[in-house]
């Protein structure tokens, strides 16, 4: 029983076998891992996410094995065959803890099923998003944002123009308030409709932003009349880094 309890809450099972000191140490380590997510919110760094997952995995496995087979028990130790059940349970609870803690701290992983943000975000890449970012910060040009459209679908695009600015495109080159802007992340992978490369001038209303995909020829974004500039209130978070799927690498931080 102690091992099952410690698999769910590391250290709690130790109290059932009168190993309070070891239980307190593990509960403190568990609390320290939770603090990575909140209030410190260190998950804006990829290394903190890796540390959280591996730390939680190590702690849950150690708690299970130690509560069942460690020294100082006042109860008979179970057969080692129980590890066949206990270790998978420890793995599952470790990843479960990491998942709910990440969500509770305001972060969420999104899979991007389209090519509209290539090459910055490849198709089927997993991206970590800070869902609380725009509760305290205003969007700025260059942000990669997640927003919800009118149909309730989450989409990922890049902020190109802000409320009060005037945007124009000439042969695909973007100008804001008659000043060309640098967009080194943009690619062209096909034949875009003429109105996607030549439009404006268009003044963005206050409270709205103009968003576009980095893969300009295939992205359905604010250039389309059916989308247009989006409300700032529709923003659901700011993308901070990829978790997998970037040119064979597992990590890429967005500027």
pLDDT category of residue 149 using cuts at 50, 70 and 90: very high
CATH number of the domain that residue 163 is part of: 2.10.109.10
Instruction: State the pLDDT confidence band at 245, using cuts at 50, 70 and 90.
Output: low
pLDDT tens digits, 4-56: 888 889 989 888 888 889 999 999 999 999 999 988 999 999 999 999 999 99
State pTM to two decimals: 0.88
- Is residue 114 domain-shared with residue 92, that is, in the same domain? no
Residue 249: its pLDDT value, please?
A: 54
**Do 133 and 97 lie in a common domain?**
no
Exposure string (b/e) for 221-246, b if CB count within 10 Å is 16 or more?
bbbeeebebbebeebbbbbbbbbbbb
Query: Does residue 120 share a domain with residue 221?
Result: yes
Mean pLDDT of 211-216: 97
Question: Residue 202 sits in which domain range?
Answer: 108-253
Helix or strand or coil: residue 128? strand
Active site residues: 116, 157
User: Are both 75 and 112 inside the same structural domain?
Assistant: no
């Amino acid at each position: 029983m102690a091992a099952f309890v410690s698999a769910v809450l590391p250290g709690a099972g130790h109290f059932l076998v009168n190993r309070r000191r070891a239980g307190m140490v593990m509960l403190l380590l568990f609390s320290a891992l939770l603090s990575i997510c909140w209030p410190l919110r260190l998950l804006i760094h990829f290394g903190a996410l890796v540390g959280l997952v591996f730390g939680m995995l190590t702690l849950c496995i150690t708690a299970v094995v130690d509560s069942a087979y460690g020294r100082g028990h006042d109860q008979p130790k179970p057969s080692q065959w129980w590890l066949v059940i206990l270790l998978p349970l420890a793995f599952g609870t470790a990843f479960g803890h990491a998942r709910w803690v990440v969500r509770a701290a305001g972060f969420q992983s999104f899979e991007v099923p389209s090519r509209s943000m290539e090459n910055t975000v490849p198709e089927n890449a997993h991206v970590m998003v800070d869902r609380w970012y725009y509760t305290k910060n205003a969007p700025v040009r260059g942000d990669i944002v997640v927003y919800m459209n009118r149909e309730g679908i989450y989409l990922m695009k890049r902020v190109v123009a802000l409320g009060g600015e005037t945007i124009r495109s000439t042969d695909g080159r973007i100008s804001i308030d008659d000043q060309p802007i640098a967009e080194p992340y943009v690619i062209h992978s096909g034949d875009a409709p003429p109105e996607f490369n030549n439009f404006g001038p268009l003044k963005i209303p206050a409270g709205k932003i103009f968003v576009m995909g980095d893969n300009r020829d295939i992205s359905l974004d604010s250039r389309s009349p059916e989308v247009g500039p989006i409300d700032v209130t529709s923003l659901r978070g700011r993308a901070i880094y990829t978790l997998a799927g970037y040119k064979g690498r597992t990590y890429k931080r967005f500027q």
